[in-house]
Amino acid sequence: MAERLSARQAIAIVSEDFRELAPPARESEPDGPLGWEGYDASRARAAERTGEQESVVCGTARVEGTQAVLIAFEFGFLGGSLGRRTGDRLEAAYAHAREHRLPVVPLVATGGSRMQEGMLALTQLQRVARQSALTRAAGLPQIAVVRDPTTGGGWATLGAGADVILALPGAQVAFAGSRVRPADADPAAYRAEAQMAAGSVDAVVRPEELRATLGLWLRLLSRPSTAAVAPPRALPTTGPATGPATGSGSPTGSATGLPATGLPATGWDAVRRARSPERPRAERYLDSCFTRRVALRGDRCGGTDDGMLCGFGEHDGRTVAYAAQTGTATRPAGYRTATRLIRLADRLGIPVLTLVDTPGAANDAEAERQGVGAAIAELFGAVAAARTPITTLVIGEGGSGGALALAAPGNTWATPDSYFSVIAPELAAAILKRPPDQAATTAEQLRIRPQDLVELGVVRGVVPVVGDPDAT
C-alpha cells in the first residue's frame, strides 16, 4: 500500500507559497440533509483529527514556477468523501481557475460519495463534471495526481476526467473501492501500475520526483502558440544524430549500400530505404527535435500501443505536441492515443508534429475486435477538425490509410528515406494477380518515391538531410 499523505502534505510535496481559497459558506441542517443520526458528531471528530473543516483543501500555488489551482483531498476526513460542502469548494476552485486563467491540479485521495448525504452527495459528481467541462472549454489544462486511495466517483470525475493523470506508486486507483469488489478479485488490478498498463494513467511517479514532473507538465501545457512547427530535417541513415534536426551533422554511408543522402532512383529503392533497419526511427527524431519531453500514454479505453509515441516537448523555446509511429503496424489503441493527443493540443492551442512510419494498420483479428476501423476514423476526424496547426513528416513507410490518418492535409513533408503508397507494393501485386517478382515493377507504377509524391501534390517537399552540404 502506498503512503497515505494528508492534504497539506500532498500540497507541500508539489508546491510553494500555497494560499488557501476562502471556502463558500453553507448553512447545514442538523445531521445533514438526511438527518443522519450522528453525522454532525462524525464531522466534528474528523475535523479534530485532521485539522480540516471539510474533505478537500483548495487554493493557489506555484509548481516549479507555474501558478495553478490545487485541489487536495483529505482522506482522513470521512474517507475524503464528497458531500455538498465539498461540491461548494470544488465549484469555487474551478471558477477561480477560469477567472484567473490557471491550470487545475486535483490531488485526489477519496473513497467516493458521502453516504450520510445520500443522493445529494452523489449528484455532486455531476456538479464537478460540469465545472471540469467548463474549464476544458476555456482551454485550461487539468492534470490530476491520484493518491492512495482514489476510488468511486472521485476517480470517475476529478481523476479519470483530467487531461493528464499522474499516479503515486502502489496507490489504489479504481472505480470499485476495496469493500465492494468481488471477493476473488486480484488486488493488483486495482493499483496505479495496472491502470497505467491499461492506458488509463499516463505515468506512475515517485513522490520525490512528483514536483519536477508535475511542474514540467504544467509548463508545457500552459504555453499556447499559433505558429506551425517547421518540418525537421532528415537524419542520417546511420550513426547518431550530431545535433538538432534543424542543425548540423555529417551523413554517413550505409552498410546495406543504400546512400545516406540523395533521392531513391526507383520505387523499389524507396521501399528498401524505408525498410532498412539502419534508417533512423521516431525515437531519434524526437530526441533531436526536443530538449525535454513528456509522454502521453494510453487511449483511456483499456489499451496502449508502444508503436505510437505521443506527448509534449520543448522545441525552439516553445511547446509542441507530437504523435509518432515507430515503424510497426499501428494498433487501435495507438490511433486512439494519437486522437487524444491531437484533441488535447487543439484545445490548448499547441501546434502538433506527427511522424509517419508504419507499414499500415494492424490487420489481425484482435485489431478488428478492438475496432481498428473506428479508431482510424476518429483520428482522421481529429486531424480534419483541428484548428491548431499540424505538421507531418514521413520518415519511413507510409502504408495506406493507416499512415494517412496521421498526416496533415496540405502540410505533409517527406524524407529521402521514405515512401507513401495506397498499399504496399507486394500487396498491390497480389491484388492485381501478378507474380511476387512483379512487386518492384508495381512499386514503380504506383509512383511512391518522395519526389513522385511532390510532383503529385501529395507532399509539399522533401526535407534535406542534416549536414548535407548540397542542402539549401
300-337 tens-digit pLDDT: 999 999 999 999 999 999 999 999 999 999 999 999 99
Confidence of residue 28 (pLDDT cuts 50, 70, 90): confident
The mean pLDDT value of the chain amounts to 91
**Mean pLDDT of the 259-270 span:** 82
Note the pLDDT of residue 131. Answer: 97
Note the pLDDT of residue 2. Answer: 64
Please count the other Cβ atoms lying within 10 Å of the Cβ belonging to residue 384: 9
Global model pTM greater than 0.75: yes
Distance CA 98, CA 93 (A): 9
**Mean pLDDT of the 361-369 span:** 95
Report whether pLDDT(260) > 90: no
Note the pLDDT of residue 262. Answer: 87
Note the pLDDT of residue 237. Answer: 81
Note the pLDDT of residue 456. Answer: 95
Distances from the Cα of 448 to the Cα of 265, 339, 428, 438, 445, angstroms: 11, 26, 12, 15, 8
Note the pLDDT of residue 129. Answer: 96
**Mean pLDDT of the 226-244 span:** 74
Distance CA 109, CA 261 (A): 55
C-alpha cell at 145: 495526481
Note the pLDDT of residue 428. Answer: 87
Note the pLDDT of residue 180. Answer: 76
Secondary structure string (H, E, C) spanning 25-90:
CCCCCCCCCCCCCCHHHHHHHHHHHHCCCCCEEEEEEEECCEEEEEEEECCCCHHHCECHHHHHHH
341 in Cβ contact with 293 (< 8 Å): no
Confidence of residue 349 (pLDDT cuts 50, 70, 90): very high
Note the pLDDT of residue 337. Answer: 98
Confidence of residue 244 (pLDDT cuts 50, 70, 90): very low
Note the pLDDT of residue 238. Answer: 67
Confidence of residue 184 (pLDDT cuts 50, 70, 90): confident
With CA atoms as reference, report the closest residue to 159 among 174, 137, 169: 174
Please count the other Cβ atoms lying within 10 Å of the Cβ belonging to residue 358: 24
Per-residue pLDDT of 196-205, as tens digits, reads 999 999 999 9
Note the pLDDT of residue 305. Answer: 96
**Mean pLDDT of the 69-74 span:** 97
The values of phi and psi at residue 257, to 5°, are 85, 0
**Longest CA pairwise span in the chain (Å):** 85
The values of phi and psi at residue 142, to 5°, are -130, 120
